[in-house]
Amino acid sequence: MTAMYVVIGVLVLVALWAVLAYNALVSTRNKVDEAWSGVDVQLKRRHDLVPNLVETVKGYAAHERSTLEAVTEARGAAEAAGEPHAVERAEARLTSALGAVNALAEAYPELRASENFQRLQAELAEIEDEIQASRRIYNANVQAYNTRIQVFPTLLIAGPMSFSPREFFEIEVAAERAVPQVAF
């Protein structure tokens, strides 16, 4: 009879552990989803700012149509991207296109001096900082989630319950990875 109580006790402990492990996996997965929504909000803010920036530049550099069209196309692709990896590629393209707008500002001093352009540039810089912060939070949550589903004994629950690893939101633009050159 005592052996039966021991077996029942062990089974109850295993069941309790399985429930706790499953709940921890769900909680961690939800943190990843919440962090992605934070990234998505910042990207949406950036997407909303781009048309204003393009319209401001149009007033000063109307003949730079191809650059402005590239920004508009990149914004559309970024808004249409769904999963993180596609968003990474689309956002890298948008970042590159926005860099071309900054280059235009260098070529047109009156644009650079425009109060509206300066305000939009400051707002864009603030949004870029927010995107970086949101991306760090997302990647930290992805790292915690991926670790949790890959370590023993939680992987015994994660595999059968279809908890799959998530991708990090990483920099795709080579220029952002490059070490800046400093010359004196």
Domain for residue 183, yes or no?
Answer: no
pLDDT above 90 as % of the chain? 51
Predicted confidence at residue 172, as pLDDT, reads: 61
- CATH number of residue 121's parent domain: 1.20.1440.20
Contact 117, 56 (CB under 8 A): yes
Enumerate residue ranges in the chain where pLDDT < 70.
62-63, 171-184
Amino acid (1-letter code) at residue 18: A
Report the number of distinct structural domains present in the chain. 1
Domain for residue 182, yes or no?
Answer: no
Whether the full predicted model's pTM is greater than 0.85, yes or no, is: no
Domain for residue 75, yes or no?
Answer: yes
Dig out the tokens for 139 from the structure.
């990647």
Domain for residue 149, yes or no?
Answer: yes
Predicted confidence at residue 13, as pLDDT, reads: 96
Dig out the tokens for 4 from the structure.
């039966």
Q: How far apart are CA 119 and CA 125, in angstroms?
A: 10
Domain for residue 90, yes or no?
Answer: yes
Q: Supply the range of the domain harboring residue 31.
A: 2-177
Domain for residue 184, yes or no?
Answer: no
